[in-house]
Amino acid sequence: MDNPSYPTGTRPVERHATLLLEIWREVCRHLQIPESVELIAPLLARRLPADLALVRRIDAAGGVVETVALGHCRPGPAPSRARSELTPEAMQRLIAWCHRRQVLRLADRSATAEPPGILPEGTDGEVLAGPLLAADGPAGVLLLTARPPRQFRDEHAELLAALLDPFAVALDNDRRLRELTSLREAVEAENRSLLTKLGRLDISDSIVGAETGLREVMEQVARVAPSDAPVLVLGETGSGKEVVARAVHTRSRRARGPFLRINCGAIPPELVDSELFGHEKGSFTGAVAERKGWFERADTGTLFLDEVGELPPAAQVRLLRVLQDGQLERVGGERPVSVDVRIVAATHRDLEAMVGDGRFRQDLWYRIAVFPIRLPPLRERPADVPALAAHFALRSSRRLGMPPLAPTAEDVGLLVTYPWPGNVRELAAVIERAAILGDGERLEVALALGTPRPPAAAPGPMALPLSRPGGEEDGFVPLEAAMARHIEAALVRARGRVEGRRGAAALLGINPHTLRSRMRKLGVDWKRLRREVGAAE
């Protein structure tokens, strides 16, 4: 059967005037095109042998044609795939067909090769197709499908030509609404960020160490940021994963869109779907209104999924669908919602091990780990500690209303030798505690670390004689040597254990990490002591 085309300028049949008026009314009443098409489809069933009405948006820059609205004129199945990716040459052919303003009647599936991309995979039966044009060029395609034995006639093609204007307006309204929503979300995200900085000056204010310990990380950020590839940031708690995620966002083409952060481990399992994907009014007890989830609010921007390894299995399945198709369904919803979101995920867990024991989906792992970035802990980049300490000292001064403070060389020496199990977050807390302990006049870093400075000897006739460095005078042991012997005695009594209720740290009343740092500084050979204690036993 031939596939004739019909110019869109054909005069609509007068008997369809009432139908066109109803369609225009629905278009003007609803700004979201999925809702408009869903309500318009039953109206079309009165005059057309159509089973489905579909609107597909053309993204010429992205090389994609995707179904954004679908309405059932009559009950039946729908196409399985909503997204078609085109080569630049195929997209040019599709755009050229749109500019010709032709309505096509496609009865032979071989005809789908020209123009390419207008039909989603799984389309059955005969098809009427027409271009939807906006002021700045082709915006989409309107499709009507009819399964056998139903067939379209020439008068139906004329009616479709008359429908192109209201559907083009509906698609343009939807685009404008999405842009306004995206701008509002970006403004809200920026406001939240500014309020956060004013209220508590988060540690992500600046990237300290970008030229030293984080140089390789920032080089990876520069490579991946211009693309839309998902990024997985791997690192210990407090190492600055959100800083890296923000750097990816600000260096990407989405920098003007929202950047939203959600801690997956902080959401109760029963609320994960609602928080991530939103819900419809009445979908569950307490759902008194429609609510957009984090994905919809991050549309055209970046969504930072912190602690993604904490997601329950059901949410992992839905997240996988969003990453694959760019579509989601709200809790209690029946229609897909298209979103354009870049995912930056982060975790301190070993996701590969979790995949191995079945706690994390393998297919989701492959999706989010397209470009993994490992963020080294602070103990592996001691060169960053002095700059970070100075940064946090100034920040603490501002927060506490104190004169500017800076760590001394002695302070820096203590900070560099400390192992920082809490990473950058712990360093920020220690510096602020040091500023408070110093009453705004100095930084009491030793006290803040739990290693108070020994008091100075009192002057007078009872003052103890000072010994020469590196030796003993009249049997008097230098302070560092005495401390080393005392630590060794504690280790012997604890049988070589450092941590635990009966460890040397508990006997000495200090933090195990502080004890290890002090042992390194004083040259205490812990391994030798442990071997000797074990041999004695």
Q: What is the CATH number of the domain that holds 399?
A: 1.10.8.60
pLDDT at res. 232: 95
- DSSP H or E run through 347: strand 342-347
Residue 408 and residue 282 share a domain: no
Same domain, 120 and 44: yes
pLDDT score at 224: 94
Contact 274, 292 (CB under 8 A): no
Q: What is the 3-state secondary structure (H, E, C) of 485-505?
A: HHHHHHHHHCCCCCCCCCCHH
Can you tell me the distance from the alpha carbon of 401 to that of 394, in angstroms, rounded to the nearest whole number?
A: 10
Give the residue from 108, 142, 177 where a domain finishes: 177
Instruction: Decide: pTM greater than 0.85.
Output: no
pLDDT in tens, 94-146: 999 998 888 888 875 544 456 788 888 777 788 999 999 988 889 999 999 98
- Cα–Cα dist 187/259, whole Å: 10
Please indicate, yes or no, if residue 135 is contained in any of the structural domains: yes
User: Which CATH number fits the domain that encloses residue 342?
Assistant: 3.40.50.300
- Domain shared by 368 and 423, yes or no: no
Question: Among candidates 379, 383, 348, 346, which has minimal Cα distance to 215?
Answer: 383
Instruction: Check if the beta carbon of residue 504 is closer than 8 Å to that of residue 490.
Output: yes
pLDDT at residue 522 tops 90 = no
- Provide CB contacts within 8 A for 298, sequence distance 6+: 185, 257, 258, 259, 260, 339, 341
pLDDT for 482 = 74
Where among 448, 471, 500 does a domain terminate?
448
Residues 313 and 335 in one domain: yes
Rounded Cα gap, residues 113 and 127, in angstroms: 14
Is the residue at 207 inside a domain? Answer: yes
Pair (17, 96) in one structural domain: yes
CATH number at residue 86: 3.30.450.40
- Phi and psi torsions of 6, nearest 5°: -130, 130
Position of tokens 């031939």?
2
Which residues have C-beta within 8 Å of that of residue 279, sequence separation ≥ 6? 273, 287, 290, 291, 293, 330, 331, 332, 333
Q: Half-sphere exposure of 375 toward its Cβ, with a 13 Å CA cutoff?
A: 29
Cis check: omega of the bond before 382, within 30 degrees of 0: no
Residue 315 domain-assigned (yes or no): yes
372-384 pLDDT, tens per residue? 999 999 988 888 8
Would you give the DSSP letter of residue 8?
T
Does 169 share its domain with 207? no
Measure the CA–CA gap between 341 and 190, rounded to whole angstroms: 17
- Edge-to-edge strand list for the sheet holding 259-263: 259-263, 302-306, 342-347, 231-234, 371-374
Count of CB atoms situated within 10 Å of the CB of 176 = 11
369 and 385 share one domain: no
Which of 376, 411, 432 finishes a domain?
A: 376
Domain count for the chain: 4
Q: Is 440 inside a domain boundary?
A: yes
Name the DSSP class of 15. Answer: G
Q: Are residues 92 and 230 in the same domain?
A: no
Query: CA 433 to CA 431: how far, in whole Å?
Result: 5
Mean pLDDT along residues 434-441: 85
Let me know if residue 360 belongs to a domain.
yes
pLDDT in tens, 238-289: 888 999 999 999 999 998 889 999 998 888 888 888 888 888 887 777 777 7
pLDDT value for 34: 85
- Per the structure, the complete domain to which residue 19 belongs is given by 5-177
- Which range in 345-349, 449-453, 471-475 is most confidently predicted, on average pLDDT? 345-349
Write down the residue that tokens 């001691």 correspond to: 382
pLDDT at residue 231 is higher than 90 = yes
Which pLDDT score, from 0 to 100, does residue 141 have? 92
Q: How far apart are CA 341 and CA 300, in angstroms?
A: 5
Classify residue 339 by burial, with Cβ atoms within 10 Å: 0-12, 13-18, 19+. Answer: buried
183 within a domain of the structure (yes/no) = no
Map tokens 């080393």 to a residue.
484
Q: 369-402 burial string, b = 16+ CB within 10 Å, else e?
A: bebebebbbbbebeebbbebbbbbbebbbeeeeb
Tens digits of residue pLDDT in 196-214:
544 443 434 457 877 788 8
* Cα–Cα nearest to 489, from 475, 477, 507: 507
In a domain, 459, yes or no: no
